[in-house]
Structure 1
């Protein structure tokens, strides 16, 4: 298990993904991109790739905070905007979502998080029209396989350049592209509620699950083969169940 190496060639990945962004956006008749910038690692990498592919003047980074959003998220997003020199906007979504959230005092954190994600995508797609750009996605392969994303929310996009990179590979490429250290080093979080972290909510680390997903998906290993390779049986069963549940 520990011998599995998910290292990528950052230079080659960078070349392929920037080429993909430019060719797909150009093929659709556009020259610009709009990215939802959360202050986290995935959106930072997508934004950096788009800026390199299209030129920073042709990228609009949209920050969409909610009243419970971490102040660090806004500050980290601004770090990236300043570094890349992309265009940017900040649009607060609290007034959009609060009337719906207040209707149900017992609303779960998951439901609230999905509302926030879908509200943000409404804003993002609205901004594509005046900016005349395509929405660029920010979901990595790990999140997609585990269903750790929101349909018609953060999964909605015209193109998704990082959709075939596992989370640990996103970090590798982000480091190679000099994404600011506070973004790269902080615990991954969708910032959907105060104190929320991806790994805390999932119950395992990205470093662990990426290796298992690589065996299950890329190498097409059977669950029992993954157990033989050293993965805990309960962990394998939990991950397989998530993959099957969100395969539709």
Structure 2
């Protein structure tokens, strides 16, 4: 068994598929525009580049949403993406939205504060979706989705997600191919929710490590025991399996208690493009 699977992708093919996906999904719903929250990180940068290519930069609005503790570097990197793609842009300071709630609960920890910031950004995204007449484009990658490393009804909220089937390792590959600035690709991934916060510091392992394990478990259907036999640390495997299992609720719509013969999500099942 190979503990180091090849996660390389055909970037030209992926680019063609994902731009086609954005174009077809948005137009089939009667829209021609897109709105994206642009953090200055690699995921939102890639989504912005793909949307601009798919729809034309004049049909994409990128929103920068700094909080008072946000890194100035994040704003600058988002500006680089805006300039490189030529999309419309808007900057909305979320501090006046967020601080009154945080101040209401003096004992609030960093996780709660971060969730409030993420959900405040979602509110602005959907407000501007209505104002710009464009659909909200997601920026979450496959690694984050599987691990539940996302805020429900926050950064996970979107109408479509073009990069949700790319592991973080693959996001980096495609980002290079489409022209995302190298400084964005190479910096440590961070949600920038508090000073010094990094994704890998919070998770306790690197994306490169967990991507290899997730690829074997999800794409190659390895059992946890087979992953351990392939050379992965047993404690690491157990921790990742439990995290994926525990966060399943973030990947599905809320379950509805069944009372009738045709319950939404159980018997009343249609494709999302039903009727188009």
Q: Tell me the TM-score normalized by structure 1.
A: 0.99
Listed as ranges, the gaps of 5+ residues in structure 1 are: none
Tell me by how many angstroms 1:219 deviates.
Answer: 1.3
Q: State whether residues 3 and 230 of structure 2, in contact with CA within 8 Å, keep that contact through their aligned partners in structure 1.
A: no
Equivalent position SS for 1:244 = helix
Matched with 1:52 is 53
Matched with 2:84 is 83
Matched with 1:135 is 136
**Partners of 1:12 and 1:18 in 2: how far apart?**
10
**Partners of 2:95 and 2:131 in 1: how far apart?**
22
Matched with 1:241 is 242
Per-residue Cα deviation, 1:25-75 (whole angstroms, up to 9, x for no partner): 000000000000000000000000000000001000000000000000000
Q: State whether residues 46 and 180 of structure 2, in contact with CA within 8 Å, keep that contact through their aligned partners in structure 1.
A: yes
**Partners of 2:110 and 2:224 in 1: how far apart?**
31
**Partners of 1:193 and 1:238 in 2: how far apart?**
25
Tell me by how many angstroms 1:3 deviates.
Answer: 3.4
Matched with 1:117 is 118
**Partners of 1:18 and 1:146 in 2: how far apart?**
26
Matched with 2:74 is 73
**Partners of 1:243 and 1:83 in 2: how far apart?**
36
Report whether the alignment pairs 1:148 with 2:149. Answer: yes
**Partners of 1:239 and 1:110 in 2: how far apart?**
20
Equivalent position SS for 1:170 = helix
Matched with 1:200 is 201
Tell me by how many angstroms 1:2 deviates.
Answer: 4.9
Instruction: Indicate the RMSD between aligned Cα atoms, in angstroms.
Output: 0.7
Equivalent position SS for 1:179 = coil
Report whether the alignment pairs 1:219 with 2:220. Answer: yes
Number of residue-to-residue matches in the alignment: 248
**Partners of 1:2 and 1:10 in 2: how far apart?**
23
Listed as ranges, the gaps of 5+ residues in structure 2 are: 250-276
Q: State whether residues 4 and 212 of structure 2, in contact with CA within 8 Å, keep that contact through their aligned partners in structure 1.
A: no
Matched with 1:98 is 99
Tell me by how many angstroms 1:156 deviates.
Answer: 0.5
Tell me by how many angstroms 1:182 deviates.
Answer: 1.1
Matched with 1:126 is 127
